[in-house]
Chains A and B, each alone.
Chain A
Amino acid sequence: MIRAEGVGLHYGSSEDGADAAAPEVLQALSFSVPGGGWRWLLGPSGAGKSSLLRLLHVSARPTRGRLHLMGVDVGQARRRELPALRRRIGMVFQDFRLLAHLSVFDNVALPLRLAGRPEGQLRADVTEMLRWVGLSKVAAMRPTVLSGGEQQRAAIARAVIVRPLLLLADEPTGNLDDVQAERLMVLLREMNRLGTTVIVATHNMALVERHPGEALELARGRLVRDG
């Protein structure tokens, strides 16, 4: 599912000439995650967790090393192969990235529409998903009027609606109370049990202790724990 070999990333570089002055935010990462696996992604603030998730989401390409995702070498792949790859990856961003001009319903329906699902066949799925995350009542509202926790749940619903093969979550419990966080963990565990590979970046060590699992731990851009 995921295989990283000596992966490095630094920002401020476009395709080719890496800006030599900028430090690498990720250095020499080598690890692999099998299909259907679960990984916590741990590390202090600024360690590079979000940056690694960006690579796994193909929002950035590695500036060093090789990264294989679902059999695709993302460093070498043609640009036009990437959208299809991204559509099989669900991502819950740390800052949600809900589209402010669309209703909650349309935000959650967006990945299905991008995948070409006909209008007539998405309503039931979206309605069901909104019920699952407890947002049925606010489906018609704009995300900007929702509470932080509601926005987070909308972002999670949008990420899982296409039943991705790989689900990435960046601090998904950051704005949730314990009850909501537990509900989310049930959802993520369930998706994982059904075969989705799940990677969850978090600071919430209490949550990790309640749901033990394999972990990747970063410190200053390097992998310090794998397993």
Chain B
Amino acid sequence: MARVIAARRFDGLGLRHAPGWRILPLIVAAMTFLAALAIAGAQGAAELGRHWQQGAAATLTVQVPRPGTAPSPPVAAGETRRDRVAALLRGTPGIAAVRPLGDAELSDLLRPWLGSSAEQLALPLPAVIAVTVSGATGTVGGVDLAALAARLEATAPGTLVESHGIWVRRLALLADSLRLCALAALGLVAAVAGAVIVVATRAALASRRGVVETLHGLGATDFYVADRFARHACRAAALGGVAGLVLAVPVVVALTALAAPFVSPAPVEPGLPGWAELLATLPRLPPLLFWALPALPLSAAAIGYIAAQGAVRAWLRRLP
């Protein structure tokens, strides 16, 4: 037992007392915290983007003026323009659902603008048909909007097809840009962490120069010497990584809980989330976060080991 302790205490370099080494976990903790926020940001952007795109891309609105009159080449007796347009839409590939809004629904929609007396205005209201498009997000399904509009115009002149596709493309771009920025931030954080570790390792090397030269002279390999430093850097970085993660998890969970109503189809209580909801969010973190966050301290440890090994080996090249 005593021997094991003696072996563990032996590090050959006295790095426990090296200056600049003690602040390393603090810096890595801050870096890990930032990295966790960046990952959560990327995840959030992706999820919100997907949700918005699904919502916006999936719908078209078709307005048919003078819905009660006959379409221009009448097909069946008594068929109105509205019926004809709806039938045409139903026969278009890529369209999942066609639902003409009823009069009550329409006046509900218009009430905020026209007041409760909309029906009594006797205005010639167009028929409104809500169309749900199937198919890929980011485009308006597989539907050729221009061709569709031309066909509808021919049957029922004045019919308008309103798509939200232009917003979809913008939303997709926004979501992708946010994700790229988050990834860039992540890469930057990793690079800065690596640089900090290299600087700390060089400071430790400078203060241990004589020891390193003596070890080298006694026949220590570069790997052996670098490994002593790298293990210390690895341990310090892992410690910082865990601390940063412990700080970041509550923040990420709170953000996820706040964002939940906007990204999940499940109904969520309006208002601010309570403690119970926050705790319930933890196991329901998106899979990316669930795996990426615990990977942060591991990545920090790996960066610590690799950066320190590299710094020491580069330094040792000056010795024969």
Which B residues are in CB contact (< 8 Å) with A119? Answer: 3, 6-7
- Interface core residue of A84, A102, A120, A158 (most chain B CB under 10 Å): A102
Known interface pairs A59-B320, A60-B320, A79-B320. Does A97 touch B10 (Cβ–Cβ under 8 Å)?
Answer: no
Instruction: Verify A111–B218 contact, CB threshold 8 A.
Output: yes
A49 contacts chain B at the CB level, 8 A cutoff: no
Interface positions, chain A 90-144, Cβ under 8 Å from B, are 91, 97, 99-102, 106, 110-111, 113-115, 119-120, 123
Tell whether, in the assembled complex, residue B17 and residue A102 are in contact, meaning their CB atoms are under 8 Å apart: no
Q: Are B14 and A57 in contact (CB under 8 A)?
A: no
- Chain B residue nearest in CB terms to A74: B320
Q: Which residues of B contact A83 (CB under 8 A)?
A: 216, 219-222
Number of interface residues of B (CB under 8 A): 24
| Residues of chain B in range 174-220 having any CB-CB distance to chain A below 8 Å | 210-211, 214-220
A80 within 8 A of B: yes
Given contacts A114-B224, A115-B219, contact A97 B214 (CB under 8 A): yes
Q: Report if B12 contacts A (CB, 8 A).
A: yes
Partner of A120, one of B3, B17, B218, B317: B3
- Residues on the A chain within 8 Å of B221, using CB: 80, 83
For B3, list chain A residues within 8 Å (CB): 119-120, 123
Tell which of A14, A102, A106, A110 touches B218, judged by Cβ atoms closer than 8 Å.
A110
The residue from A14, A86, A115 contacting B217, defined by CB atoms under 8 A apart? A86
Interface centre among A87, A106, A114 (most CB of B within 10 A): A114
Cβ of A18 within 8 Å of any chain B Cβ, yes or no, is no
B215 touches A57 (CB 8 A): no
Question: Nearest chain B CB to A162's CB is how many angstroms away?
Answer: 9
In this complex, how many residues of chain A approach chain B with their Cβ under 8 Å: the count is 32
| Contact flags B114-141 to A (C-beta < 8 A → 1, else 0) | 0000000000000000000000000000
Q: Residues of B contacting A115 with CB < 8 Å?
A: 219
* Minimum C-beta distance from B21 to chain A (A): 14
Asked if A97 contacts B210 (CB within 8 A), the reply is: yes
* Interface status of A61 (Cβ within 8 A of chain B): yes
Please, which residue of chain B has its CB at the minimum distance from the CB of A61? B320
With CB as the reference atom, state the residue of chain B lying closest to A84.
B219
Q: How far is the CA of A97 from the CA of B216 in the complex (A)?
A: 12
Cβ 8 A contact of A99, one of B6, B211, B219, B317 = B211
Which residues of A sit under 8 angstroms from B14, Cβ to Cβ? 99-102
**CB contact list, A55-91 vs B, under 8 A:** 57-61, 79-80, 82-89, 91
Which residues in A have their C-beta under 8 angstroms from that of B320?
58-61, 79, 82
Within 8 A of A (CB), among B1-52: 3, 6-7, 10, 12-14, 17
CA distance in complex: A106, B9 (Å): 11
Contacts of A82 in B (CB 8 A): 320
Closest A residue to B9 by beta carbon equals A106
Contacts of B6 in A (CB 8 A): 119
| Chain B residue with the shortest CB-CB distance to A88 | B219
Roughly how many angstroms separate A61 CA and B218 CA in the complex, as a whole number? Answer: 16
Residue of A nearest to B14 (CB): A101
Minimum CB–CB distance from B314 to chain A (whole Å) comes to 13
Question: Judging by beta carbons under 8 Å apart, are B12 and A110 in contact?
Answer: yes
Q: How far is the CA of A89 from the CA of B219 in the complex (A)?
A: 9
Q: In the docked arrangement, what's the CA distance between A158 and B13, Å?
A: 16
- Chain B residues at the A interface, C-beta cutoff of 8 Å: 3, 6-7, 10, 12-14, 17, 210-211, 214-222, 224, 317-320
What are 13 A-B contacts defined by CB distance under 8 Å?
Answer: A58-B320, A59-B319, A59-B320, A80-B222, A83-B219, A86-B218, A88-B219, A97-B214, A99-B12, A113-B10, A114-B224, A119-B6, A120-B3
